[in-house]
């Protein structure tokens, strides 16, 4: 099952790259913007509840799709780009085993405890 879920995340990541390739931005923009969704971790400065909410909002794929579709519908490539970055980043995180956060702590995710996700365990799955 883990392999099937990882394949799904890879497909979403590749979809984001495909959409990005059709946007009017230089190739370096996607890697340059890649870590921007992680700024949502600053919410943890206000506590685990606020941190989990801000992190989960920025890493939720429904938000990525909504932003991207809104950009497409409004003819605003920069909004499509924002949706692509959110989707690309979230899919990449999930490929590495980082899931949405519970309010109990940063390491507690919907995919299990994040500290369990090591390169060796990811390769074995």
Per residue in 30-83, pLDDT tens?
A: 999 999 999 999 999 999 999 999 999 999 999 999 999 999 999 999 999 999
Structure tokens at 13: 């990541």
How many domains does the structure of the chain reveal? 1
CA–CA separation, 31 vs 48, rounded Å? Answer: 28
Q: How confident is the model at residue 121 (pLDDT cuts 50, 70, 90)?
A: very low
Cross-strand pairs, 101: 109
**CA 69 – CA 64 distance, rounded (Å):** 9
Give the mean pLDDT of 101-121: 65
22: containing domain: 2-124
pTM: 0.85
């Amino acid at each position: 099952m883990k392999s099937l879920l990882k394949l799904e995340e890879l497909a979403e990541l590749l979809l984001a790259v495909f959409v990005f390739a059709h946007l009017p931005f230089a190739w370096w923009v996607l890697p340059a913007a890649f870590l921007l969704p992680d700024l949502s971790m600053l919410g943890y400065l206000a506590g685990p509840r606020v941190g989990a909410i801000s992190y989960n909002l920025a890493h939720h794929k429904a938000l990525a799709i909504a932003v991207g579709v809104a950009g497409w519908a409004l003819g605003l490539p920069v909004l499509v780009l924002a949706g692509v970055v959110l989707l690309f980043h979230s899919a990449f995180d999930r490929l590495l085993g980082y899931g949405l956060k519970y309010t109990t702590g940063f390491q507690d995710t919907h995919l299990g405890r994040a500290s369990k996700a090591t390169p060796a365990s990811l390769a074995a799955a």
